[in-house]
Amino acid sequence: MVLFAFSSTPGNGYVISSGDSSAWKSIPEGLSAKIKATAAAGDTVLSVSIGKDDWFINTSNFVYCCPSGAVTSCLSSAQAQSSNVRLADIEQFVFMPHTPTGYFCSTAKTSMWSGLPTSMAENLRLSSSKADIRCVAVGAGEQWIIVREDNSFAYNGISDDLEKTLKENHAASKTIKYITFSLDNASYYFVVYKDGSTVHLSPAAWHPQIKEYIQKSQERDDDDDDDDDDGAALLDLASFNADIQSIRNAVSSVQMHSI
């Protein structure tokens, strides 16, 4: 699955990754250093997000963040509330466009937030469980979206074009994996579905590299599927051999009894 995050650094860049390979433009130096280190170690990028002079990256072996910023604020708040949440537990982190300490943070078991748009916070409080939220996105112009595990979603301030696309794909039973908005430009978005397809609006100059990494991601997913098929075939062969051995043992038992 392709990963994408808009950058709020001067130049309005991005980071895009196929998991084991990444490219970027105008992102914080600390984040680019961690992406390089992740690639050198052979780790896989699982999620990445960028705030205003802030960043977060989750890899297959480590979780990193900007030393001072919204992630630190989130962990301090969790500690003050006696919540046993560590940096390594965070799976998704979303920065806010209007406040440097605002965030939405999710782990495997719970979700936490601070400084969200009022209407979004109210919608989240209506959730039966904080753990039923698959992903959220917040962008410029007070736009936000909440996607739940049952594939339903609530939103505010998104463009008519994006709203139409999301509804059409929902009607076609396409499942959103994640969605991200630009913190600086209310027109830009990037949506990834579980089947690997994407819908995005971004500067045309970025499109060749986006297309390249979507292709890389699809090829990587296909390779993983092939590995799964090979594993299933080996398992079937092992079961077959076990069945043959059982038959041989049964025949041997019958022969000994007849003697």
Q: Is there a domain that residue 233 lies in?
A: no
Strands across the sheet with 45-51, in order? 45-51, 54-59, 63-65
Domain of 123 in residue numbering reads as: 3-214
Domain assignment of residue 228, yes or no: no
Which residue shows structure tokens 């699955």? 1
In a domain, 248, yes or no: no
Total residue length of the chain: 259
For position 136, what pLDDT does the model report?
A: 96
Q: Which of 29-33, 99-103, 124-128 has the lowest mean pLDDT?
A: 124-128
Helix (H) or strand (E) holding 59: strand 54-59
Higher pLDDT, 12 or 155: 155
Q: How many domains does the chain have?
A: 1
Residue 77 clears pLDDT 50, i.e. is over it? yes
| Residue pLDDT, tens place only, 194-242 | 999 999 999 999 999 999 999 999 998 887 666 555 555 444 555 546 5
225 part of a folded domain: no
Within a domain: 249: no
Q: What is the DSSP letter of 130?
A: G
- In one letter, which amino acid is 235? L
Encoded tokens for 134:
């698959």
Q: Tell me the pLDDT tens digit for each residue of 132-154.
A: 899 999 999 989 999 999 999 99
Q: What's the confidence (pLDDT) of residue 254?
A: 37
Distance CA(117)–CA(93), nearest Å, equals: 16
Q: Which residue has the higher pLDDT, 249 or 188?
A: 188
- Element holding 235 (H helix, E strand): helix 207-258
Q: Which pLDDT belongs to residue 12?
A: 85
